[in-house]
Amino acid sequence: MTDGKKMKLAVLTSGGDSAGMNAVVRAVVKTAIIKGCETWIVREGYEGLVRGNSEGNRHTYSLEKGTSSPRLKEHPDDFVHNLRYGDGELLKDGTGDHPGGRTLRGRYIVRVGWDDVRGWFAEGGTLIGTARSTTFRTRDGRLTAAHNMIKEGIDALVVCGGDGSLTGADVFRAEWPGLVTELRQQGKITEDQASKHAHLKIVGLVGSIDNDMSMTDLTIGAPTALHRICEAIDNINSTAFSHSRAFVLEVMGRHCGWLALMAGVSCGADFIFIPESPPDADRWEDEMCQMIQKHRDVGKRKTIVIVAEGAIDSKLQPIHAEFVKNVLSERLGLDTRVTTLGHTQRGGKPCAMDRILPTLQGVEAVEALLESTPDTPSYMIGVRENKITRVPLMEAVKMTREVAQAIAEKDFPKAMSLRDPEFCESLEGFYATAVLETEPKLPHHLRMRVAIMHVGAPAGGMNAATRAAVRYCIRQGHKPFAIHNGFVGLLDDNVHQLSWLGVDNWMTRGGSELGTNRKLPDIDLGAVAAKFQQYNFHAFIMIGGFEAFTSLLLLEQGRKHYPAFNIPMVHLPATISNNVPLTEFSLGSDTSLNALVDACDAIKQSASASRNRVFVVETQGGKCGYIATMGALATGACIVYTPERGIDLDMLRNDVKYLKRRYALDAKGKSEGRLVLRNEVSSDVYTTDVITKMFKEEGGKLFDSRSASLGHTLQGGIPSPMDRARAVRLSLKCMAFIEHHHQELLKQQARSKQAPPESAAVITIQGTAVQWVSVQDMVEHADMKNRRGKHAWWDGMRDLVEALVARPQILAKG
Ligand code: ATP
């Protein structure tokens, strides 16, 4: 760990605001303090750097002067000193004025402490303000900015913004030595200041709702914007259905169609327009009308068309929502309305992903600054394959600009190739599920009867995955069969063929439309095989959690005795517990985290209202602590209990010690509610009730304690857009997999066909790479007794949860 004793670090947000920027500021400030840095925020983006602090306002306010807390004088060590250093109250007020006479007027570069950023998680936008600064675009502006930074002694900068902001960051760093020389020549800084500030350390984080930056899979704020869009479309769906209307929705995205595409996939839209893949200028109107008319002909009552703000045709002519509306009204006679979502897309509280990723990226940004030397490039912190990455900032900006360039040059294949593979797969997924073909694509002999079953507890995205599989089957000429109520339903002949229209509304439905059951096929393996034979299934898709995995194992082992199981069989993991081995994300886990975040925000609010309450919140998750741990990271909980680590008395003693010291450090009248997350089966003895009572007893006058059990609410209502989009992507891969293995089996000459072991497999996400693992190979990664994987990739996050509440520091101060 690098020592940041000497570093003075400032963080700013710039360009358009996005959800998750506050989580960045929080993580940067907290991590920097832990590493021994002095922490500052810059208000109003680069404009704040240029304006700086007016004379007489420079760093005049300090904790020692501004607070009456005598405790701080008794603890002059760095950490406690940093706990409440600054103007958090003022920043959160947003007014810049405070009844106590303190003011932010004239101060744009503000020293902040640990507690100044507390509770920032749930807030949308950016609490430190953002702006588009024309002055900073000029060299003079940047000279003033450099001067203001040097006056305050700041030598490192974290910038969170879009590609413009990151370009500005790189220009600033490149120019820095020249700016310092000029300031010295003008006599504005001393020789000592010039040598101390010879180099600027800078790092960028991408805050942008468009997800338009290359070299990172997700930008901060994009997932939340997608949530807002999908919520709006989900609401519009019901009125569109009632009146049999068409709606044309315009969503943000000037050069990037990610929001339009993902919304189109997640909401089951009929048609989308994105800049990277423009429709043929001479034909698109006919094509769109033909496609929508076909949907209407089979009985669809509603039509949803999504238009990205920057949508164009192949001749680069803009396509506007209003024009699309006129085409639909005039050509098809549809009662069509336009809805422009505008700034509602930016707003609102961040979704779980926009709390977790910015936190991890903020931590990495500070690490990168601490390791930075004059020879290292400025980095952009991104995320790739579920890992936080550092990439040279200018390379990422350059590649991003190339997309716009490729579009301008009508080189659309290049524009698509510069997007990540998931983007292209999602586009294919959209067409596979939205287009109703007149003729099936496959010849008769390759067509299958495909059985689909939900196994175990319901999870968000199960229905979306089923819908995608059904739509794909119909496009290819396969027959999709729903097996209702799991293996019990199969034995009861609860089997029905599904239709294209019948699954139309399933994208947004939570729970399980097929009905689930926890019973495994060994209730009567022979009878299950007989049913497979009776229905002449050629392939089998199971969507579910650990039970589905176990079921697949039993069926594969049963191949020795029952030829009916010699067909391709797949398991698509869907469980809120996220306990299927090897796969990092199961369908439903994102929905569940969002349900947890919503519930905990409400609980925390109630806990904060009573100022000093510790809420022990019980989560589901079986013997897997994923939801509790990631939930703790997403809600800023201070303690998390998981089955993997269990609970013992020493742990509890330390937890009580931590809570007591933490509450003792709170400023008078400024205590806050705190969350403790406990997985339901973390310990048989130290139950939620026992822990709550223990905290209450030990808290004495410092804090009170209550418990809350989230129970089945964690299954979530409407599945999250991420779960829906992921469901479509994975489900289509399952279909491609079974088609491939079916065709391989057809090549076998023998009367009794033998399916190879790899044809019974689980689809897993390892990084962003989707990997097939045969069910036999899965076994060695599975802890069958505890029903979870042997390796929990997220286990280390618990240390981060503790770091971000300063547990080690607080426990160390005797
Ligand atoms: P969004 O994606 O929301 O548009 P952005 O960061 O791309 O965010 P911009 O308006 O392009 O937004 O840039 C934000 C600020 O960054 C500008 O107002 C300007 O102060 C600074 N900036 C942008 N480009 C440069 C540049 N080439 N040189 C110096 N500063 C720049």
Q: What is the pLDDT of residue 751?
A: 67
Ligand 1 site-directed mutation target among 46, 126, 165, most atoms within 8 Å of CB: 165
Query: Is residue 576 part of an annotated ligand binding site?
Result: yes
pLDDT value at 606 more than 80:
no
How far apart are the CA of 142 and the centre of ligand 1, in A? Answer: 13
Q: What is the DSSP letter of 215?
A: T
The closest of 65, 67, 63, 61 to 96, measured between CA atoms, is 61
Q: What is the pLDDT of residue 387?
A: 82
Q: What is the pLDDT of residue 748?
A: 84
> Which entry of 17, 115, 116, 210 is annotated as an active-site residue?
210
Give the residue-averaged pLDDT of 643-654. 96
Query: Is residue 592 part of an annotated ligand binding site?
Result: no
Instruction: Assign 23 a pLDDT band (cuts: 50, 70, 90).
Output: very high
Question: Ligand 1 atom closest to Cα of 172?
Answer: 29
Contacts of 652 (CB under 8 A, 6+ apart): 686, 691, 694
Nearest CA to ligand 1 atom 25: 168
Query: Does residue 795 have an active-site annotation?
Result: no
The HSE-up count of residue 106 (CA atoms within 13 Å, CB side) is: 10
pLDDT value at 809 more than 50:
yes
Contact 719, 461 (CB under 8 A): yes
How far apart are the CA of 349 and the centre of ligand 1, in A? Answer: 24
Mean pLDDT of the chain: 90
Query: Is residue 577 part of an annotated ligand binding site?
Result: yes
Give the residue-averaged pLDDT of 177-192. 96
pLDDT value at 594 more than 90:
yes
Q: What is the pLDDT of residue 59?
A: 44
Instruction: Assign 452 a pLDDT band (cuts: 50, 70, 90).
Output: very high
Give me the helices (H) in 610-747, please.
626-635, 649-665, 688-699, 721-746
Q: What is the dihedral of CA 487, 471, 302, 223, to 10 degrees?
A: 90
Interval 69-103: pLDDT, tens: 323 333 345 666 666 666 666 666 665 555 555 56
Q: What is the pLDDT of residue 795?
A: 86
Q: What is the pLDDT of residue 2?
A: 43
The closest of 391, 353, 809, 767 to 582, measured between CA atoms, is 767
pLDDT value at 320 more than 50:
yes
Query: What ipTM does the predicted assembly reach?
Result: 0.96
The tokens for 175 are: 């120019």
Q: What is the DSSP letter of 814?
A: -
Other CB atoms within a 10 A radius of the CB of residue 522 amount to: 14
Pocket of ligand 1 (CB under 6 A): 14-16, 46, 132-133, 136-137, 161-165, 167-168, 171, 208
Q: What is the pLDDT of residue 75?
A: 36
Q: Which amino acid is at 328?
A: L
Give the residue-averaged pLDDT of 711-732. 92
Interval 515-527: pLDDT, tens: 999 999 999 999 9
Contact 593, 785 (CB under 8 A): no
Other CB atoms within a 10 A radius of the CB of residue 535 amount to: 16
What percent of the chain has pLDDT above 90? Answer: 74
The closest of 379, 401, 361 to 214, measured between CA atoms, is 401
> Is 42 strand, coil or helix?
strand
Q: What is the pLDDT of residue 98?
A: 54
Sheet with strand 201-206: strands edge to edge: 109-111, 38-42, 8-13, 156-161, 201-206, 379-384, 387-392
DSSP secondary structure letters along 542-586 = EEESHHHHHHHHHHHHHTTT-GGG-S-EEEEEB-TT--SSS-S--
Q: What is the pLDDT of residue 74?
A: 32
How far apart are the CA of 162 and the centre of ligand 1, in A? Answer: 7
Question: Ligand 1 atom closest to Cα of 17?
Answer: 3
How far apart are the CA of 145 and the centre of ligand 1, in A? Answer: 15
Interval 397-408: pLDDT, tens: 898 889 889 988
Distance CA 461, CA 306 (A): 21
Nearest CA to ligand 1 atom 2: 162
Distance CA 726, CA 223 (A): 13
Interval 27-41: pLDDT, tens: 999 999 989 899 999
pLDDT value at 329 more than 80:
yes
**What does the chain come to in residues?**
814
> Is 783 strand, coil or helix?
strand
What is the crossing angle of helices 353-371 and 589-609, to 10°?
A: 90
